[in-house]
Amino acid sequence: MSEDVVADHGLWFRMESGGGASGVRRAAERLGQQLELGPQRVADLAIVTAELTSNLVKHAQEGSLLLRPVRRAGRAGVELVAIDSGPGMADLALSSVDGHSTTGTLGIGLGAIVRQTSWFDGYSLPGRGTVLAVQVWDGPPTEPDWAGGLTRPITGEQVSGDGYAVRVVEGRHQVLLCDGLGHGPLAAAASGAAVSAFGAAPAGPPGSVVQHLHRAISYTRGAALAVAELDRASGLLRYAGLGNIASMIVATGERRRGLVSLPGIAGHQRPVVREYDYPFPPGATLVMHSDGVVDRWDLDDYPGIGGRAPLVAAATLLRDAGIRRDDACVLVARVGP
């Protein structure tokens, strides 16, 4: 893939020294221009990127940054997700105010980021690190996302064999998470085919959507995948999965509940597909991830994360539970308060 093209799954940058910051800024500017952001917004994007990379280099440990396009209702913007395992902040909101600093610097970095972006959210814990997510649009920001996710390739690969997708079709709020068999371009092709087929699938419950995906990706090496539907009106989550996709419902005051995925590989043989219904009370969270993420996480270890954007929660779990020796993907979804 040309370095001038940023695919929808994005590009990851490891921020271990200041030498790579200019390359990230140039990539962000190119992406903004390709998406036809106006000159002023491209300039704002350059400032935001410079501040994020500077913060990662100066104050973070194991810092990384994801750059990717975002598309909503015929519009396009640029999204950046900065992740680190550094000292963290006790009060992210206060640290985002111009002039505040806990490190002896001028304290203008986060304030500049908030001013120049269309949307900003983050989560930080002292001693655990920080996740910051921003979007830059030309014009007003879009509505907040009810679901968010991200993928990261295995160390040494440029593309991830994992993928996810989100859609609302005929009032159905549905999400897909998939894991193409193996690693590298062929695995990415399988998950990409599943994502494309999901977007074009007829409206229907998760079981019928999984059957559609199975038929649609038969020309690929196949994938483990799962589809969930969040039905706020009925207070239910409908779910159908094949293979090693981990999915859990986390509700206040309750232990997390694992969802059932049956053995099988979408696109291969003739798998048994069953759909299950689970209670999904107001305020509940759905977490889905591939086997590149260990399942020993506990959202109770992250006070206040339920009030953060799904993308920020997903990035935090990827940082702490993702493993480098496999492709990794995390998706978090909520509907309603």
* pLDDT at position 140: 84
Q: What is the percentage of the chain residues whose pLDDT exceeds 70?
A: 92
Long-range contacts of 92-98 (CB under 8 A, 24+ apart): 92/122, 92/123, 92/124, 92/130, 95/124, 96/120, 96/122
- The more confidently predicted of residues 166 and 89 is 166
pLDDT in tens, 283-307: 999 999 999 999 999 999 999 999 9
CB atoms within 10 A of CB 79: 21
Asked if the model's pLDDT at residue 56 lies above 60, the reply is yes
- The CATH 3.60.40.10 portion of the chain extends over 147-333
Range 145-154 average pLDDT: 95
pTM: 0.92
Which residues lie below 8 Å from residue 92, measured CB to CB, with a gap of 6+?
Answer: 110, 122, 123, 124, 130
**What Å distances lie between residue 185 and 1, 5, 158, 243, 265, CA to CA?**
11, 16, 9, 20, 18
Is CATH 3.30.565.10 correct for 11-136?
Answer: yes
**What Å distances lie between residue 162 and 16, 199, 213, 291, CA to CA?**
25, 16, 15, 10
Q: Say whether 170 sits in a helix, a strand or coil.
A: coil
CA 320 to chain centre: 14
* Strands 246-250 vs 257-258: parallel, antiparallel or unpaired: antiparallel
* pLDDT at position 251: 92
* pLDDT at position 106: 33
Range 123-138 average pLDDT: 93
The position carrying tokens 């501040």 is 51
The mean pLDDT of the chain is: 90
Asked if the model's pLDDT at residue 319 lies above 80, the reply is yes
Asked which of 5-9, 80-84, 198-202 is least confident by mean pLDDT, the reply is 5-9
Asked if the model's pLDDT at residue 104 lies above 80, the reply is no
Residues paired with residue 34 on neighbouring β-strands, in sequence order: none
pLDDT in tens, 58-76: 877 778 999 999 998 889 9
For the 147-333 domain, the top CATH level (class) is alpha beta
Range 44-48 average pLDDT: 95
- The CATH 3.30.565.10 portion of the chain extends over 11-136
* pLDDT at position 108: 45
* pLDDT at position 6: 73
